Amino acid sequence: MAVEYKDLDVRPILKAGVEPFAEIMASVNALGPDQGLRLIAPFKPQPLFSVMARKGFRHEVVELEDGDFEVRFLPETIAVRVSDDAEGADAWPDALIELDLTDLDPPQPMLRILQTLETLPSGAVLFAALGREPILLYPELVKRGHQWVGNYDKTGETFRVMIRRGETAT
């Protein structure tokens, strides 16, 4: 499937002394499902790469003859992270508890999730929305015998995780 690109040249914006991030994000938010963004900039916008990756875009960079850069942000399937033993997560029961932890700073989301899991029966599922991917939570879940599956939502701003309480949680 061919990607249709929307073009955004930030050189005039930068030349006017304005930070182009808001314009870039507005352009990204206006993209359709199979559209990408072609960004022209006077430098390689390295910090933007991780922001766009969280929004579900990979990038390709081409240096232009005049020293400027063309960066193509292409949509990709949102990666789903899964614990090693979480096969069949699509057959898990509905979440018994849902937590919105997007406004909490670490380590509070991890602590709340672990405390809440202790109140659930084996096999029950907890759903949590977080402001970032809970990298430090994963080993704690595995250590306690829980399974998990998660990914960023389509905006790339909220990480969603489903956790199934293990049989032998400690």
Task: Please give the C-alpha separations between residue 84 and each of 88, 92, 136, 153, in angstroms, as whole numbers.
Answer: 11, 15, 16, 22
Same structural domain, 87 and 160: yes
| Distance separating alpha carbons of residues 167 and 123, to the nearest angstrom | 7
Same structural domain, 92 and 143: yes
User: What's the one-letter identity of residue 27?
Assistant: S
In a domain, 147, yes or no: yes
- How confident is the model over 45-70, as pLDDT tens digits? 999 999 998 888 889 999 999 999 99
Same structural domain, 86 and 153: yes
- How confident is the model over 110-128, as pLDDT tens digits? 999 999 999 999 999 999 9
| Average pLDDT of the residues of the chain | 89
Using the 3D structure, point to which of 75, 108, 126 is the last residue of a domain: 75
Angle between helices 21-29 and 46-54 (to 10 degrees): 30
Same structural domain, 86 and 158: yes
Work out whether the CA dihedral 74, 23, 158, 69 comes out positive or negative: positive
What is the domain range of residue 32?
Answer: 4-75
Cβ atoms of 57 and 29 within 8 Å: the answer is no
- Residue 37's beta-bridge partner residues? 6, 73
| Distance separating alpha carbons of residues 2 and 5, to the nearest angstrom | 10
| Distance separating alpha carbons of residues 57 and 59, to the nearest angstrom | 7
In a domain, 51, yes or no: yes
pLDDT exceeds 80 at position 169: no
How many domains does the chain contain in total?
Answer: 2
* Residue 1: per-residue pLDDT: 41
Same structural domain, 142 and 114: yes
pLDDT exceeds 80 at position 89: yes
Same structural domain, 91 and 40: no
DSSP designation for 157: S
In a domain, 131, yes or no: yes
CATH number of the domain bearing residue 10 = 3.30.110.40
Same structural domain, 9 and 62: yes
Using the 3D structure, point to which of 18, 47, 75 is the last residue of a domain: 75
Q: Which has the higher per-residue pLDDT, 34 or 143?
A: 143
In a domain, 58, yes or no: yes
Q: Which has the higher per-residue pLDDT, 9 or 36?
A: 9
